[in-house]
């Protein structure tokens, strides 16, 4: 036994404390697979917050994207540039790509890495909607554009110059190849992973995340809060998969789903207004319409498309009330289809609405609206089952006659006893028909009983 056990105990505790203090901080792993949109932006922004809460030393973003919306891309890049934790964007697995918006994100990251068999580039902006597609707009090669002052051409030049300046600034910030970055915007060029490493577009070529962490071990990266030293060789890897909120946002911000939600919402409200009191149509329609409006305000929407869709629905509803012989209905379907085609104002892959969905949805819309309106009109034409209109014309039997006034009596009709008056004397058991109602008294006329079923119905 040691002569001073208390000293040994303190020594062991000190060693454990030092080991605990020098233990590697965790590494946060995020994954984006698909077009960059509101859902992926929300996922990445909250992933950066989780990394800060966990005390992570590094954030690894696995990326495979054909491009995305400009607004979502810029939100992500702003968060990466302002992150006190370095972000390593890693294009993986083999066969993946970081096209268009993905190229900007790769340039903005503190570390740019790719797996063998991947590619990046094609970062030319589209001419509408502010999106970032995977393919450039076509333009003549080797010829000078004589129509340089055309409004559309001027807008295209503005977008290309703005995008080129943006990615060039990111390249200069991270000390990467700015010349190639500008070519990716102006000429839509692409690079393989090995070529990107050779041209200093990326920093590392790694087989997998473990290989990337081994290469980054001991490196020092500059962040907005200063330099950060990495100890990633044996760091714990904490993966954050998209939760239910991100998955729900990804579903409702799909333009096709948003269009369907909008139609369900409008149909539900039409059904509720046609048959007040049901409740189901109004509740379902209200929920779906609010979800659709929320999704549309996150997407690059052409408001002319929204107006055409609403106008088409109005025409289809009017067809059920006005004798237009199908003109309003056909015009409504045409307006709906045209509005759905131009609804989403971008050519970004993954954010279009297929024509194979639009046409059947337009036809189904017309049929459904016609059915709802026809049911409403049929219900309005039905005879009332209560009140004076039901009393008039009913048959009944006299149940009592006062001896002093034979022109008055009592009948049992619709579950109630009514006092009746006739111009001729009445007798008990006599069949009478109701002519009118005067307050609580019915005017009747004597009538021979010739239809027993009708009489029983009156009783």
CATH number at residue 396: 2.40.50.140
Whether residue 137 is contained in a domain is answered as no
Give yes or no: residues 406 and 338 share one domain: no
373 and 392 part of one domain: no
What is the structure's pLDDT at 326? Answer: 62
Domain end marker among 226, 244, 262: 244
Poorest-pLDDT segment among 198-202, 325-329, 406-410, 420-424 = 325-329
Buried b (16+ CB within 10 A) or exposed e, 335-357: bbbbbbbbbbbbbbbbbebeeee
Give the span between the Cα atoms of 449 and 459, in whole angstroms. Answer: 13
Question: Coil, strand or helix: which one is 114?
Answer: strand
CATH classification of the domain holding 221: 3.90.226.10
Other CB atoms within a 10 A radius of the CB of residue 389 amount to 10
> Is residue 274's pLDDT more than 70?
no
* 324 domain-assigned: yes
Q: 368 and 408 share a domain?
A: no
Higher model confidence: residue 410 or residue 142? 410
Can you tell me whether residue 253 is helix, strand or coil? Answer: coil
- Would 7 be classed as within a structural domain? no
Q: What is the dihedral of CA 73, 75, 81, 83, to 10 degrees?
A: -120
Going across the sheet that includes 119-121, the strands are 97-99, 119-121, 190-192
Domain count of the fold of the chain: 3
pLDDT tier at 412 (50, 70, 90 boundaries)?
confident
420 assigned to some structural domain:
yes
pLDDT over 80 at 458, yes or no: no
User: Which pTM was predicted?
Assistant: 0.67
One domain for residues 395 and 377? no
Rounded Cα–Cα distance for residues 127 and 429 (Å): 88
Query: Do 299 and 439 have their domain in common?
Result: no
Statement to judge: residues 110 and 232 lie in one domain: yes
- Asked if 335 and 356 sit in the same domain, the reply is yes
pLDDT surpassing 70 at residue 121: yes
At 354, the pLDDT band (50, 70, 90 cuts) reads confident
> Which of residues 382, 409, 430 is at a domain's end?
382
| Rounded to 5°, angle at Cα 455 from 450 and 459 | 165
User: Looking at the domain assignment, is residue 218 inside a domain?
Assistant: yes
Which segment of 151-155, 173-177, 209-213 scores lowest on mean pLDDT? 151-155
Domain residues for the domain of 80 are: 23-126+158-244
Statement to judge: residues 172 and 87 lie in one domain: yes
Residues 111 and 172 in one domain: yes
4 pLDDT above the threshold of 90: no
Give mean pLDDT, residues 228-239.
Answer: 90
Same domain? 305 vs 219: no
Tokens of 281: 């149509």
Shared domain for 195 and 175, answered yes or no, is yes
Query: 189 with 317, same domain?
Result: no
Does residue 310 form part of some domain? yes
Residue 28 pLDDT grade (very low, low, confident, very high; cuts 50, 70, 90): very high
Cβ atoms of 106 and 63 within 8 Å: the answer is yes
Out of 198, 221, 244, a domain closes at: 244
């Amino acid at each position: 036994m040691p002569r001073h056990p208390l000293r040994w105990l303190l020594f062991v505790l000190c060693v454990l404390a030092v080991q605990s203090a020098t233990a590697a901080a965790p590494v946060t792993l995020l994954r984006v697979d698909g077009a960059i949109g509101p859902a992926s932006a929300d996922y990445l922004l909250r992933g950066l917050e989780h990394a800060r809460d966990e005390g992570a030393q590094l954030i690894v973003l696995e990326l495979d994207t054909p491009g995305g919306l400009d607004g979502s891309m810029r939100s992500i890049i702003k968060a990466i540039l302002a992150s006190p934790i370095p972000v390593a964007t890693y294009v993986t697995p083999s066969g993946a790509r970081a096209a268009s918006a993905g190229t900007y994100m790769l340039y903005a990251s503190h570390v740019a890495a790719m797996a063998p068999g991947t590619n990046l580039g094609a970062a030319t902006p589209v001419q509408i909607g502010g999106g970032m597609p995977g393919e450039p707009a076509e333009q003549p090669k080797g010829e000078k554009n004589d129509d340089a002052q055309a409004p559309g051409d001027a807008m295209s030049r503005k977008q290309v110059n703005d995008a080129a300046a943006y990615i060039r600034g990111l390249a200069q910030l991270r000390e990467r190849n700015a010349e190639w970055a500008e070519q990716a915007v102006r000429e839509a060029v692409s690079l393989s992973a090995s070529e990107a490493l050779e041209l200093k577009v990326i920093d590392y070529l790694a087989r997998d995340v473990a290989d990337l962490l081994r290469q980054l071990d001991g490196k020092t990266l500059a962040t907005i809060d200063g330099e950060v030293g990495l100890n990633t060789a044996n760091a714990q890897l904490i993966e954050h998969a998209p939760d239910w909120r991100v998955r729900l946002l990804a579903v409702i911000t799909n333009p096709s789903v948003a269009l369907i939600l909008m139609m369900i919402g409008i149909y539900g409200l039409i059904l509720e207004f046609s048959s007040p009191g049901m409740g189901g149509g109004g509740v379902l329609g209200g929920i779906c319409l609010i979800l659709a409006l929320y999704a549309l305000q996150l997407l690059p929407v052409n408001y002319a498309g929204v107006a055409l869709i609403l106008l088409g629905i109005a025409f289809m509803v009017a067809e059920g009330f006005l004798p237009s012989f199908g003109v309003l209905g056909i015009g409504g379907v045409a307006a709906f289809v045209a509005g759905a085609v131009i609804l989403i104002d971008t050519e970004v892959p993954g954010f279009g609405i297929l024509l194979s969905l639009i046409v059947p949805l337009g036809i189904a819309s017309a049929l459904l609206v016609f059915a709802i309106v026809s049911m409403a009109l049929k219900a309005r034409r039905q005879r009332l089952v209560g009140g004076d209109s039901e009393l008039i014309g009913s048959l009944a039997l006299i149940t009592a006659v006062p001896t002093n006034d034979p022109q008055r009596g009592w009948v049992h009709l619709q579950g109630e006893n009514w006092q009746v008056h006739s111009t001729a004397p009445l007798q008990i058991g006599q069949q009478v028909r109701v002519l009118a109602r005067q307050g609580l008294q019915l005017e009747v006329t004597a009538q021979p009983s010739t239809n027993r079923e009708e009489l029983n119905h009156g009783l």
